[in-house]
Structure formats: C-alpha cells, structure tokens
C-alpha cells in the first residue's frame, strides 16, 4: 500500500515540476539568448515587448500565430 502511495506522490511531484517550469517567465532578452529560438531572433524581437515577461508557451503561441497568418 505504501509503495502505491509513493508512486502517486512521485507522479504528483513530476507534474508539479512541469507546471512550475511552464509557469516560468522570461524577458525578451532572455528569450533572444536562448537556443530554442536561435533561428527566430528577428521575429522574437519584433513580436515581444521590451520589459514584459513571457512563458515559453506564450512565445510559441505568438510565433506560431504569426507564421500561420495570412499573407496579403
């Protein structure tokens, strides 16, 4: 019984860490320096406001929204 509780607690800890990691917020400068967005630095610079903090999910959403936008 305790072994099952230990597994449940470890799964909860992993989930909590994932939520904490996703909730981390970064400045535009930090995102520009990251390897993840190395090929999109010009786009990041244009889309993100200076002095504002963004989660990685927000940045992904902004970049993907821009890239999937219609060309006029």
Q: Confirm if 44 and 30 have CB atoms less than 8 A apart.
A: no
pLDDT higher than threshold 80 for residue 39: yes
pTM above 0.85, yes or no: no
pLDDT higher than threshold 90 for residue 14: no
Closest by CA position to 55, among listed 18, 12, 9:
18
Q: Where are the domains of the chain?
A: 2-67
């Amino acid at each position: 019984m305790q072994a099952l509780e230990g597994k449940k607690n470890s799964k909860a800890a992993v989930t909590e860490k994932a939520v904490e990691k996703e909730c981390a917020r970064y400045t535009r400068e930090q995102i520009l320096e990251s390897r993840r967005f190395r090929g999109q630095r010009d786009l990041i610079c244009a889309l993100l406001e200076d002095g504002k903090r963004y989660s990685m999910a927000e940045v992904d959403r902004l970049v993907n929204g821009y890239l999937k936008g219609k060309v006029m």
